[in-house]
Amino acid sequence: MFEKIKKDFTTKTLVLIPIAIAINIVVGELVARLKLPIYLDSIGTVLVGAIAGPWAGALTGGLANLIWGLFTPTSAPFFYVAAVIGFMAGLAGKYGAFEGETPYWVSVLVGAVFVFSLTLFVLAFINVNVDETGYATFPSMGELFSRYLLLFIVAILLGGAIGYFLLQKGGYAGLWGLITGVIAAIISAPTAAYVFGGVTGAGTDLLVAAFRASGGGILSSVLAQGSVSDPFDKMLSFMVVWLILKALPARFKAR
């Protein structure tokens, strides 16, 4: 077991990990300051996992959040979530998710979920209400679905078409990102709800508020927010890494 773990940590991997941690923190901090309803703080973690294996990915994710937590305290308690994301990315890389072609149904599914989630984010922020004191409230998810049902249907069909024609070689990467996002949403919800009360300072707090406006409790609202934003976020991160790996020289990936 130890020997298998040790194989993940070559000299090149040990050099890559600090770079990946820096990528996570810089991009994550920028997204948090812009109050976007996603994270994008796992791109470096996914990259290391895809290239070097699950244990290297897990270490990168965990260390990144612990180091980030030195100046952004809300990040450190989620180190275990980041470690799981890195481990999942390593498994995805091990089973060839970042290489080769994928079945059309996988690409269609990934494209449909991606565009649907993006549409949901955009509509939620377009319909935000700001009162005289500057307090922002969002419409409930049920209200958005009933008001824009046709648009959501179009988004799903458009996303499926994009997946069919453009994601034929990246569908598995997106699917692994989708699965990883669901897992991350489930395991992070208790910490977000009971440690931070659903308010972590990220743009996703606004989605928690939207689900609470729908009548949900704190844990159910945090879990609902994670179920929407985490799969989209991790899918995007995995697809970004897929594009990076496509651009890397074959010799570098082999090493």
pTM score of the predicted model: 0.82
Question: Among residues 92, 22, 83, which one has the least CA distance to residue 53?
Answer: 92
Please compute the mean of the pLDDT values over residues 213-233 and round it to a whole number.
73
Q: Where are the alpha helices (DSSP H) in 34-78?
A: 43-52, 54-68
User: Which residue is listed with tokens 């130890």?
Assistant: 2
Q: Where are the domains of the chain?
A: 2-254
The CA distances from residue 197 to 49, 74, 200, 212, in Å, are 31, 12, 8, 12
Helix H or strand E encompassing 137? strand 136-137
Q: Is 248 exposed, middle or buried (0-12, 13-18, 19+ CB in 10 A)?
A: exposed
Helix H or strand E encompassing 148? none
Residue 130 sits at φ, ψ, to 5 deg, of -115, 120
What is residue 208's predicted lDDT score, i.e. its pLDDT?
73
Question: Among residues 213, 225, 216, 217, which one has the least CA distance to residue 188?
Answer: 225
Q: Note the pLDDT tens digit of each residue in 182-205.
A: 899 889 888 888 888 877 767 666
| Cβ neighbours, 10 Å, residue 123 | 18
Percent of the chain clearing pLDDT 90 (strictly above): 36
The CA distances from residue 32 to 26, 28, 35, 145, 230, in Å, are 10, 6, 5, 27, 14
Q: Note the pLDDT tens digit of each residue in 129-185.
A: 766 655 556 667 778 888 899 999 999 999 899 888 877 677 888 889 989 988 998
- Contact of 20 with 11, CB cutoff 8 Å: no
d(CA 46, CA 87): 8
Name the amino acid, one letter, at 176.
Answer: W
